Amino acid sequence: MDILRFITAGSVDDGKSTLIGRLLYDTKQIFADQLEAIESSGRVNEDGQVDLSLLTDGLKAEREQGITIDVAYKYFSTEKRKFIIADAPGHIQYTRNMVTGASNSNLSIILVDARKGVQEQTRRHSIISSLLGIPHLVICINKMDLVGYDEQVYNQIVEDYKQFATKLNAKDVTFIPVSALKGDNIVEGSLLTMPWYKGPSLLEHLEQVPVSQDFNLDNARFPVQYVIRPLTAEHHDYRGYAGKVISGTYKAGDQVTVQPSGQTTTIKSVKLGGKILEEAFAPMSVVLQLQDEVDISRGDVIVKAADGLEVAQEFEAEVCWMHNKALKPGAKLLLRHNSTETRCVVRSIDYKIDINTLDHLEDVDQIQLNDICRVQIKTAAPLLLDKYADNRSNGGFILMDETSFATVGAGMVAEIEY
Amino acid sequence: MTKRYLDYLDQLEAEAIHIMREVAGQFEKPALLFSGGKDSITLVRLAQKAFRPGKFPFPLVHIDTGHNFPEAIRYRDELAERLGEKLIVRHVEDTIKRKNLSEPKGRYASRNALQTHTLLETIEEFGFDACIGGARRDEEKARAKERIFSVRDEFGQWDPKRQRPELWNIYNGRITKGENVRAFPISNWTELDVWNYIKREEIALPNIYYTHERECLVRDGKLMAWSDFIYQEPDDVVVTKQVRFRTVGDMTCTAAVESIAFDIDGVIAEILESKISERGATRIDDKLSETAMEDRKKGGYF
């Protein structure tokens, strides 16, 4: 059994909450007391059934203002998989939240109302999923019950979407006709209502979609988080480098280089919980011991010597701005990339990405909340970076305000200047 | 080529260890809040995996309401002793006396909410800048929206509107003076995940997690352990039942469930069959209002 992390984007109107509610309900993840709380609220849909969208209802603070503030995380599992849902609100002003939820997801469920077809919101959610490097997209064409389960309607939407999707670098796109309200093709199939559909139900697809190869096992990166030095009689000279293999693989005997210092040595052992591992691979958290005594501290990265990697201080990135106060060129910020923190300056803004069309808008003099822009960044300290498109786990960073320390932006490395 | 496949428990473990090490790496004076419950016992095992053969870079801190199960207290002391780690205990009783706080009275009286006072005092006393806790997002809808690194102001308050976006595996623990962070390494675990991990790791638990005979009061359909601390009414019925606890908190607000599970497989089987959520089954404090947890968190609770 492994884990699939997926994001659902959309608004209540698309039936997103109903879809999640249906997944949880039909996989029997809803407990009686939770259902009772919903029933006692007195809201039912036109069939007189419990309104499943209420299962995802949020905080008092949100209800008071009639908005969704934030990404909510939900969990369910079947015999095949554990699922982690990042449930993000879908309105344009919440690009920030969708970017946040998408950053950790392997799959994105995008809802299309069968009556309306591909809309601006469909395109926006697809583009954000694509920018955040989500490998699998599932386009759920919802409310099929309201179009008489018509195959032609479904085919037309699939066609329209495919035409639009040529712009995206989506590796894997799946289409499923569903009715979240009625439960068609969510957990069970749709033999009675849509005999023309031969594919899997949404849950069957979620259970099958291969995710193990989504971990990058080619580019070995081990950012050191913490140095273990017991300084006891028994472990007097022990130094263990604690961290997570964010990508690639490591084993004893590997020739490694420590960046940014560039010192080279060999791995003596790879351990987890005191037990020796033959090999550590992403995303394991382990302890590395090295053959030679080298000066290593938090923020250093242990990589394979043979890869001949270099550090850089200047790069281009796509930045999603998450703060009310706009970002202007020349702004100084703190940048956190894995376990490294450094100051940086945003030197220039190249263009803004229209998240509804992917068009580039030139002559942009500042980045507003929820904008995604291509920028030039220079850092105070050298970083061991990958392009986000090559290595998702080593190509993302966050930007923090220098005085409040709030997280104000999220960035994805696009080009690196060595 | 070897097949590189990481089981879901290994993935959750790797994530939790990573979070703990980020706390150790980013903060000057972290602490691990330890209650003697299964979630914090799981955190201790994860800390062993994260930091051995070194010592934990934080003490274990217990905020004792004075109404805890004696079995949990005994377990706590033995565990700290066996691990050779520092244990700090602070008592709600002392806060009540010192600050002349009024004890909640009546049918739903519990010191659970008063814990917040003692917790904030303890944070101040030791200057803790981060507290690791065992909260999980599957427990409650307010928890479902809280960050893994949750910044609290000097009153410990959670402001859902001012939360920092949390992307990839990057945790922003930078704070200004007076603020502190609550860090939740097992945010993405469910109740069942915790039990399956305890089983896999063969972790011993306080015996109240398994079936035993106990005198209970029946209150609002829930079985409350009979003790000197619990509010009693003349018509209360005391019954003797075979029970276990799904959560181990303050005796006055933690209910037992009827059970025949004498070992971990039995517990897992019962959870799989259970039709009621963990907090729904066992917590009186959440039932008081629909937004009880959200309100408590805004007031500095975990």
Query: How sure is the predictor about B143, in pLDDT bands with cuts at 50, 70 and 90?
Result: confident
Q: Which residue has the higher pLDDT, B301 or A374?
A: A374
**H helices within B84-174, ranges in order?**
92-99, 115-126
Q: What is the pLDDT of residue B300?
A: 65
Tell me if chain A has a CB within 8 Å of the CB of B101: no
Q: What is the mean pLDDT of chain A?
A: 89
Cα separation, A35 vs B143, in Å, equals 18
Tell me if chain A has a CB within 8 Å of the CB of B157: no
Q: Is the pLDDT of residue B145 over 70?
A: yes
Q: What is the pLDDT of residue A229?
A: 93
The whole-angstrom distance between B289's CA and the closest CA on chain A is 11
Chain A residues with CB inside 8 Å of B280's CB? 31-34
Q: What is the pLDDT of residue A68?
A: 60
Chain A residues with CB inside 8 Å of B54's CB? 228-230, 240
Chain A residues with CB inside 8 Å of B55's CB? 230
Tell me if chain A has a CB within 8 Å of the CB of B153: no
Q: Is the pLDDT of residue A405 over 60?
A: yes
Least confident residue range of A109-123, B109-123, B180-194 = B109-123
A98 alpha-carbon distance from chain centroid: 9
* Residue A269 identity: S
Q: Is the pLDDT of residue A1 over 50?
A: yes
Chain B residues with CB inside 8 Å of A336's CB? 170, 172
Tell me if chain A has a CB within 8 Å of the CB of B200: no
- Return the SS3 of A372: strand
pLDDT tens track for A268-295: 999 999 999 999 999 999 999 999 989 9
Q: Is the pLDDT of residue A50 over 70?
A: no
Q: What is the mean pLDDT of chain B?
A: 85
The secondary structure element, H or E, covering residue A333 is strand A332-337
Q: Which residue has the higher pLDDT, A350 or A90?
A: A350
Q: Could B174 and A398 be called an inter-chain contact, meaning their C-beta atoms sit closer than 8 Å? A: no
pTM above 0.95, yes or no: no
b/e for A147-180, b at 16 or more Cβ within 10 A?
bebeeebbeebbeebeebbeebebeebbbbbbbb
Of the candidates A84, A226, A235, which has its C-beta nearest B24's C-beta?
A226
Cα separation, A219 vs A303, in Å, equals 8
Mean predicted confidence (pLDDT) in B275-298:
60
Give the contacts of B100 (CB within 8 A, at least 6 positions apart). Answer: none
pLDDT tens track for B184-204: 999 999 989 999 999 999 999
Query: How sure is the predictor about A416, in pLDDT bands with cuts at 50, 70 and 90?
Result: very high
The whole-angstrom distance between A404's CA and the closest CA on chain B is 7
Query: Can you count the helices (H) and strands (E) in chain B?
Result: 9, 10
Strand (E) positions, B35-193?
60-64, 87-91, 130-132, 149-152, 180-183
Q: Which residue has the higher pLDDT, B252 or A396?
A: A396
Among B148, B168, B203, B222, the strongest candidate for a mutation testing the A interface, having the largest count of A CBs within 10 A, is: B168
Mean predicted confidence (pLDDT) in A214-220:
89
The whole-angstrom distance between B13's CA and the closest CA on chain A is 8
Cα Rg of chain A (Å, integer): 24
Q: Could you tell me the two tokens for A296?
A: 């290593």
Mean predicted confidence (pLDDT) in B153-162:
81
Q: What is the pLDDT of residue B1?
A: 43
Cα separation, A319 vs B176, in Å, equals 25
Q: What is the pLDDT of residue A185?
A: 95
Of the candidates A285, A322, A403, which has its C-beta nearest B14's C-beta?
A285
Question: Which value, to the nearest 10 degrees, does the dihedral of the CA atoms of residues A295, A299, A305, A309 take?
Answer: -130
- Return the SS3 of A334: strand
The whole-angstrom distance between B183's CA and the closest CA on chain A is 16
ipTM of the modeled complex: 0.93
Contact B301, B116 (CB under 8 A): yes
Contact B203, B194 (CB under 8 A): no
Q: What is the pLDDT of residue A49?
A: 58
Tell me if chain A has a CB within 8 Å of the CB of B167: yes
